[in-house]
Structure 1
Amino acid sequence: MQNSLFQKLQYVNAYRKNRQELANYVLSHPNLFEELLNHCFEADADTAFKSCWILEFVCKEKLNWILPHIDYFLINIKHLNHDSAIRPCAKICELLCIEYFKNSPSKIKDRLNKNHLEQLSEINFDWLINDEKVATKAYAMQSLYLLGKKIDWIHPELKKVLEQGFSSHSAAYKARARHILNKL
Structure 2
Amino acid sequence: MKNFETRLKGGHPNSLGNTIVVVEEVLNEPTHFDELFNCYFSEDEIVRLRVSNAMKRICKEKPSCLIPYIDRFITEISLIDQASTKWTIAQLFEYLDTDLSPQQYASAKSIIKRNLEIESDWIVLINSMQTLAKWSKKDEELAQWLMPHLERLSKDSRKSVSKQALKFAQHNSG
**Shared fold (TM-score, shorter chain, > 0.5):** yes
Matches of 1:146 and 1:77, distance apart in 2: 22
Please tell me the residue identity of whatever aligns with 2:103.
N
3-state SS in 2 of match to 1:132: coil
1:100-155 Cα deviation digits (max 9, x unpaired): 2xxxxxxx2xxx21111111111111121122322221111121122223433100
Q: Residues 10 and 46 of structure 2 are in contact (CA less than 8 Å); yes or no, is this contact kept in structure 1?
A: no
Structure 2 equivalent of residue 35 of structure 1: 35
Which residue in 1 is equivalent to 2:136? 148
For residues 29-70 of structure 1, the C-alpha deviation after alignment (integer angstroms, 9 at most, x for no partner) is 211111211221345434323322222221121122111111
Stretches of structure 2 that go unaligned for 5 or more consecutive residues are none
RMSD between aligned alpha carbons? 2.1
Q: What aligned pairs does 1:34-113 form with structure 2 within 5 A after superposition?
A: 34-97=34-97, 100=98, 108=99, 112-113=100-101
Q: 1:131 aligns with which of 93, 104, 119?
A: 119
Q: 4+ residue stretches of structure 1 with deviation over 4 A?
A: none
- 1:94 deviation in Å? 2.6
SS state at 1:15 partner? coil
Q: Is the 8 A contact 1:19 1:53 kept in 2?
A: yes
TM-score of the superposition, structure 2-length normalised? 0.85
**Percent identity among equivalent residues?**
22
Q: What one-letter code is carried by the residue in structure 2 that aligns with 1:138?
A: I
